[in-house]
Amino acid sequence: MSTNRDLLLVSVGNTSITAAPAPGGVLEGMERIKHSPEAVDRLIEIAGKLDAEATVVLAGVHAEETKRLAAELSKLAGPQLRIEDDLAAPIGRQLAEGATPGVDRLLAAAGAWTLTKQAVIIVDAGTAITVDFVDGEGTFHGGAIAPGLGLMLHALSEGTDALPSIAFQSPSDDEPFGADTESAMRLGVHLAARGLISQAIERYALAYGAWPKVLATGGDAAALLDGAEIVDRVVPDLVLRGMLEAVQQAEAAEDE
């Protein structure tokens, strides 16, 4: 079931915000916005594309920034809904008792299940890299969490005396060796991340007894995984798709 109301979908990550308007429940034009005092101004601009009574749907793993944005966005005329407070993340779960996975992982899993309706592995390459598994019944089983590309580079710089502080850039396929310190660091974290993802996919497929679809999302997904044979598709708005599904399922339940 689809929703007919206008929505502003906002997912607050550890280093950036992903947001999109969904007029009439149709996702349009996702944006990634770095955390800053001005971020809310851009969100309000996006909301301006929608009906004045548009519903703000908010999810976040950065508690302080989520709280700040929620307060600022409450000044808009429409209602505000929080995932896991007002709306459940729409995915079944088979986890250890008391486990509380990040809402971003649950929403990415929900978005992936909505797209595939089959067993699927979700790679989220952001501040952290997560590799999670959803079975053929749409149940989230958890997965693996590791440092993202930026965190790995930061650890190398902070944990050593000589290695510099650098940003990630995708290594060139034409240069198989890191011929200087910076390129060696970038190649190292690239291979570490790719190796982690490959090993997790193989482990999950072996446990499941079949090879699931693999979808990737997150701010570093394109740089890390575009063209990678281990991934079927990069879907930048996977978390927002999960948020939209949460609204649609809640409305369907109200109509029953």
For the stretch 54-79, pLDDT in tens is 999 999 999 999 999 999 999 998 99
Whether the CB-CB separation of 194 and 228 falls below 8 Å is answered with: yes
Q: Which CATH number fits domain 92-240: 3.50.50.60, 3.90.79.10, 3.30.420.40, 3.20.20.210?
A: 3.30.420.40
Q: Nearest-CA neighbor of 63 among 108, 10, 13, 106?
A: 13
CATH code of 7-82, in short, is 3.30.420.40
pLDDT value of residue 238: 98
Residues 233-255 have pLDDT tens digits of: 999 999 999 999 999 999 888 77
Mean pLDDT of the chain: 95
Question: What is the three-class DSSP state of 130?
Answer: strand
pLDDT value of residue 252: 84
According to CATH, where is 3.30.420.40 located in the chain?
7-82, 92-240
Whether the CB-CB separation of 105 and 132 falls below 8 Å is answered with: yes
pLDDT value of residue 2: 64
Q: Averaged over 17-29, what is the pLDDT? A: 95
Burial of 85 (0-12, 13-18, 19+ CB in 10 A): exposed
Whether the CB-CB separation of 243 and 57 falls below 8 Å is answered with: yes
Residues 129-167 have pLDDT tens digits of: 999 999 999 999 999 999 999 999 999 999 999 999 999
Q: Provide the percentage of residues in the chain whose pLDDT is more than 90.
A: 91
Q: Please determine, for residue 3, whether its predicted confidence score (pLDDT) is greater than 80.
A: no
Q: Please determine, for residue 1, whether its predicted confidence score (pLDDT) is greater than 60.
A: no
Q: Provide the annotated active-site residues.
A: 104
Q: Which amino acid is at 58?
A: L
Q: Averaged over 183-201, what is the pLDDT? A: 98
